[in-house]
Amino acid sequence: MTSKHTKVMLFLLALIVTLMCQPPEEAQPNSSICTDTSALDNVPGCFDAVKLAADKDTRWLSIDCCKAVKTLPDCLLIVYPDKAYNTEIFKSICVQKFAGIIS
């Protein structure tokens, strides 16, 4: 094995080890707070329905509310002063509740 081959192999080994040690991108939480909740505010009762959905009560989530939830970016929605939830949670709840209607 030549010196050039050895250097290439060491480089590839270092690259592989570096990539293996990095946490996956989806494991890094998005810590930005939702600043624009106007989509929820424009649907009567939607924000309250989302607050209840955070407590596992999805009875009041309507299709229109779920469509508004779907427009939110991936951020932390403050539903109570001491609780913030990622909007992906509410999007998932809506998809489960209205399977086939909202995707």
Q: Where are the domains of the chain?
A: 30-103
Residues facing 80 on adjacent strands: 83
At 42-100, the pLDDT tens digits run 999 999 999 999 999 999 999 999 999 999 999 999 999 989 999 999 999 999 999 88
At 5-45, the pLDDT tens digits run 787 777 777 777 777 776 655 544 546 999 999 999 999 99
Residue linked to tokens 């609780």? 83
Q: What is the pTM of this model?
A: 0.68
Residues 6+ apart with CB under 8 A from 49: 60, 61, 62, 65
DSSP string for residues in 13-74: HHHHHHHHHSPPGGGS---PBP---HHHHTSTTHHHHHHHHHTT--TT--HHHHHHHHTS-S
CA gyration radius, the chain: 22
